[in-house]
Copies of this chain bind each other. A is one copy, B any other.
Amino acid sequence: MTDFPRIQDTPLSLDALLVGSERDDCGALAIFAGTVRNHHDGRPVTHLVYTAHAALADKMIRGIEQQIARQHGVPVCRVVHRIGALRIGESAILAVVRAPHRAEAFAALRALVDAVKHRVPIWKEEFYTDGTSAFVTGCCIAEDAEDTGAHPHHEHGHGHQHA
């Protein structure tokens, strides 16, 4: 059961993500859920809309799973990302790692989530209580871009804002 879609437009299920992931040789299961917060940089948020280049995002997430599994020597890495409109508290991303021991499980999980956030073609638009919205400025994923942004590996405030 590793052939589930990595980009999904319905609520994410941790149980579904864990199906068939059990490993008798693993003593550690580490899980991350990124949930929608009600604020960002001090502004109250009502909901988010995620969009993606679904075909490319799916392929890239699978590649990142394999890369992190190899680099960290962990047998199980899985990620799924939600798209569409999400309410406060809903999960935008779920990531799971199983490993023999917890140290490598934690390290792999962090790397997995960071890689998906920084490299996969997904965009987050925040909607505020005042009726405006803005795309969260993100990471340039072009190797040869003319302008990769000031802080390509951290969120840095808001992008193009619209009433």
Q: Which residues of A contact B (CB under 8 A)?
A: 14, 22, 24-39, 88-89, 91, 100, 102, 105-106, 109-110, 113
Identify whether the interface residues of A are mostly helix, strand, loop, or mixed.
mixed
Q: Bound complex: CA of A27 vs CA of B35, how far in Å?
A: 5
Query: Looking across the interface, which residue of chain B has its beta carbon closest to that of A37?
Result: B27
Between-chain CB contacts (< 8 Å), 28 pairs: A24-B38, A24-B88, A24-B89, A25-B37, A25-B38, A26-B37, A27-B36, A27-B37, A28-B32, A29-B32, A29-B33, A29-B34, A29-B35, A29-B91, A30-B30, A30-B31, A30-B32, A30-B33, A30-B109, A31-B31, A31-B32, A31-B33, A32-B102, A34-B102, A37-B100, A102-B113, A106-B106, A106-B110
**Chain B nearest Cβ from A158, distance in angstroms:** 16
A39 touches B25 (CB 8 A): yes
7 A-B pairs with least C-beta separation: A31-B31, A27-B37, A29-B33, A24-B38, A24-B88, A30-B32, A106-B110
Query: Looking across the interface, which residue of chain B has its beta carbon closest to that of A40?
Result: B27
Q: Bound complex: CA of A27 vs CA of B113, how far in Å?
A: 13
Query: A34 to chain B: which residues have CB within 8 Å?
Result: 27-29, 102
Query: Looking across the interface, which residue of chain B has its beta carbon closest to that of A22?
Result: B89
Query: A109 to chain B: which residues have CB within 8 Å?
Result: 30, 106
Query: A28 to chain B: which residues have CB within 8 Å?
Result: 32-35
**Chain B nearest Cβ from A112, distance in angstroms:** 11
**Chain B nearest Cβ from A49, distance in angstroms:** 16
